[in-house]
Amino acid sequence: MTKTGRRFAPLLAGLTFGALVAVLCAVAAPAGEVPLVAPAPAPAAATMMSDEQAMMAAPGPMAMQLPTAPPPDVPTARFGQSAPAAAVPALPLIPAPPPRPAPPKRTGTGQGAQLFALTNAQRAGAGCRPLRLDSRLTKAAQQHSEEMAGEGYFSHNAPSGSTFASRERATGFDAEKTGGENIARGQKNAKTVMQDWMGSPPHRKNILNCEFTTIGIGYVPDGHYWTQDFGY
């Protein structure tokens, strides 16, 4: 290296490559000539690099954000598809309205209540304890009145062969406590039917039997069918 080169070496060390070429050309060029400046290199064509290539080519550390995976059990949607709708909690079903009750049968409960009161009044006059209404005997008596009215007969023994005792047992009444039965037809009110029964010895005997403790009463206004079922 010449003395001139050693003198300018510290200065040249800090120059870029393009500037260094220009200085060298100026130094080497004869006096009076315009030094040629080397053109700057054309920029490289832009290239597409993946995240992995960019990370490998980068001179320093590079952070790359990894795609975040969806949490488990979370539905995802593909392109062109809508995301599944979120689950909606099931609502309790609205219960169906209850069926309309059947129209009540014409049982004449008012007349039945009057007959019950008149029966106990007659018993009280004879020194007997009042009878208690029993739902099973009432069912048996009411069914018999309805059957007589519906089938057009008048008897303690039904065409089916049933008797007052079998009808009482059929409703769950104790077989050992079945007592007796009074029936009537045509009397329009409780007072009239009671007068007729008290005037008939067999019917009067049932009403004033002090050993009976329970009773059931049935009545159908159509035809005025009356039934008394007694129990011990």
Distance between CA atoms of residues 149 and 220, nearest Å: 7
Six-digit token string for 21: 């070429």
Could you identify the residue written with the tokens 């054309």?
Answer: 42
Closest CA to 108 of 200, 16, 217, 22: 217
The mean pLDDT of the chain is 74
Confidence of residue 125 (pLDDT cuts 50, 70, 90): very high
For 59-96, the pLDDT digits (tens) are: 433 333 444 444 444 333 333 344 455 555 555 555 55
Quickly count helices (H) and strands (E) in the chain. 8, 4
More confident residue, 133 or 106: 133
**Per-residue pLDDT, 22:** 54
More confident residue, 77 or 181: 181
For 8-62, the pLDDT digits (tens) are: 555 555 555 555 555 555 555 454 444 444 444 444 444 444 444 444 444 433 3
Do 37 and 25 touch, CB atoms closer than 8 A?
A: yes
Whether the model clears a pTM of 0.85, i.e. scores above it, the answer is no
